[in-house]
Chain A
Amino acid sequence: MTNVVPFPTPPRQAEELDLGALFDAHGAWLLRVTERLCGRRDLAEDLVQEIFLVAWKRRHEIEDMQGIRTWLYRVAVNVVRHRHRSENRYGNVLARFKHLLWGTTSGADVSLERYQRGQQVHDIIAKLSPKQREVFVLYELEELEGAEIAAILDISVNTVWSRLRLARAAFKTHWEEVSP
């Protein structure tokens, strides 16, 4: 029996990446996860724009659209990490813009109590260390599987669980302080 060698697929061409279609498919959830990871509503849109800029620059690395979600998660994590490093380098901007964190309530029919509770969750997540926050957001809020998180963060699954354990402990400690 002869082994059939598959004909190599040609590399993706630059023009094939439709940024508009990519944004329509992934823009909304990227905005959500970026806001959760960076803790800044006012910054999330800029970071998403940066993510798509990276996607455009590295479009040849996108081998198939099946795994693009994981690939975009990885880019999002890296873009947020880079932004955190920049901010730490040039002063703690986060503290200066504290009043802009997650802004104010928007919907008229959203009860203030529920909004404030959601805000408390965000505030506590912002207090976690960056590594714990990444795992916590991806597992508890984005509801990804452990193996997928390990692939996104380029760490072992066991490391995911150990960071998650620490993040949960820290989260619960803070939650008990603020919840009635």
Chain B
Amino acid sequence: MNEPRRLREDPELRQAFEDERLALGPHDLAALRARVVAGSPVPATPSGPRWPTLVGISGLTAALVSVALWAILPSGPVIPPPQSTPAPPVLLVGEPRMPTRVAVPGVDTEDPVEPDLPAPAPVVAPVEVGTVQAPEPVETVETPAVPEPAPVDHGLRMTAPRADLQAELEDYNRALDAASASRWSEARERYAAYLEAWPSGRLRDEAQLGLLGALVRSDRPGEAESLATRLLADPALARRAEDIRLLRAEALVELDRCDDALAVLEDVRRSARVTAVRNACRRKR
């Protein structure tokens, strides 16, 4: 079977399929690239009832288990721990603890039946459920000073750096989420907080651009203009110069400095946002 003709070749639908592309995006590819390369965790499915359900079920289970334990366990009086510890039996290393066999004069020790005589000191008092048992005394032996043991290697050497990276990405993602939801004031504060907390962070460049965008969109054109000037002088941000110029032009329009804005845009490629700035300047004139 031959390939059927595509719908976009239909004269009635051609325009609609061309316009379909206009409804895509926009997306912040640079920020997404940073997230992908940094390996930041993918947000979970926004499933509303899932967590409350899990919390409810686990809470109910815990309550039922508690009630069941309370009903099953004997409710005898709680014996407080003895204030003075009786003389403890001295156990030698290697001595079997169970069964406790005590040598009593006159009684055949080979008899498997426990003697009727009360056992002397080494008898261990039976432990009652629900009571607090005094800690078993330890024979104090003078031992030479032992040096501190070396830390055990669990193969978790990367724990601290990973935790740092995780914390940094969480800070950045909080700012990014606010910006994505157009909560510009919050985004501005979160980007500033990220830059303050992580002055040499891995996403510093992206955060600075994010802060600039948030300043422009949260009606702080003066601060945005000065930040843009500073960023344009930073050689590390040379490859993002066009984005910075565009944001600076938008800030200059807000400051009623359209001539400066148009001059800034001379080196910027034509795009919808550039046209928007030009149109805004035309309207102001």
Q: Which residues of A contact B (CB under 8 A)?
A: 19-20, 23-24, 27-28, 31-32, 35-36, 41-42, 44-46, 48-50, 52-53, 56, 83, 86-87, 89-91, 93, 96-97, 102, 106-110, 114-115, 117-122, 139-141, 143, 145-146, 157-158, 161, 164, 168, 171, 175, 179
Are B27 and A31 closer than 8 Å at their CB atoms? yes
Question: Which B residues touch A49, using CB under 8 A?
Answer: 32, 35-36, 40, 42
Are B272 and A93 closer than 8 Å at their CB atoms? no
A146 to B284, CA, bound (A): 53
Are A117 and B1 closer than 8 Å at their CB atoms? no
Distance (whole angstroms) from the CB of B149 to the closest CB of chain A: 35
> Quick one: given A24-B33, A44-B27, A108-B275, are A118 and B49 in contact (CB under 8 Å)?
no
Are B22 and A86 closer than 8 Å at their CB atoms? no
Chain A residue at minimum C-beta to C-beta distance from B15: A117
> Can you sample 24 A-B contacts with CB below 8 Å?
A27-B36, A28-B29, A31-B32, A35-B24, A45-B27, A45-B32, A45-B35, A49-B32, A90-B45, A90-B47, A90-B50, A91-B47, A91-B49, A93-B46, A107-B22, A108-B279, A109-B272, A109-B279, A118-B16, A118-B19, A120-B16, A161-B1, A175-B13, A179-B16
Question: Which A residues touch B3, using CB under 8 A?
Answer: 145-146
Q: Which of B252-275 contact A (CB under 8 A)?
A: 272-273, 275
Question: Which B residues touch A141, using CB under 8 A?
Answer: 17, 20
Distance (whole angstroms) from the CB of B89 to the closest CB of chain A: 58
> Quick one: given A140-B8, A168-B7, are A96 and B48 in contact (CB under 8 Å)?
yes
> Quick one: given A119-B23, A139-B6, are A23 and B42 in contact (CB under 8 Å)?
no
> Quick one: given A49-B35, A49-B42, are A122 and B23 in contact (CB under 8 Å)?
yes
Interface size class of B (residues with CB under 8 A): 35 or more
Pick the contact of A118 from B21, B180, B272 — CB < 8 Å? Answer: B21
A141 to B238, CA, bound (A): 36
Are A117 and B24 closer than 8 Å at their CB atoms? no
Question: Which A residues touch B276, using CB under 8 A?
Answer: 107-109
A118 to B23, CA, bound (A): 5
> Quick one: given A41-B25, A90-B50, A93-B48, are A114 and B272 in contact (CB under 8 Å)?
no
Q: Which residues of B contact A (CB under 8 A)?
A: 1, 3-4, 6-8, 13, 15-17, 19-29, 32-33, 35-37, 39-40, 42-43, 45-50, 180, 272-273, 275-276, 279
Chain B residue at minimum C-beta to C-beta distance from A110: B22
Chain B residue at minimum C-beta to C-beta distance from A21: B37
A115 to B33, CA, bound (A): 27
Question: Which B residues touch A90, using CB under 8 A?
Answer: 45, 47-50
Are A50 and B42 closer than 8 Å at their CB atoms? yes
A32 to B29, CA, bound (A): 11
Distance (whole angstroms) from the CB of A75 to the closest CB of chain B: 13
Question: Which A residues touch B275, using CB under 8 A?
Answer: 108-109
Are A36 and B1 closer than 8 Å at their CB atoms? no
Question: Which B residues touch A19, using CB under 8 A?
Answer: 36-37
Are B22 and A118 closer than 8 Å at their CB atoms? yes
A145 to B40, CA, bound (A): 35
Question: Which B residues touch A164, using CB under 8 A?
Answer: 4
Are B15 and A27 closer than 8 Å at their CB atoms? no
Pick the contact of B19 from A27, A52, A117 — CB < 8 Å? Answer: A117
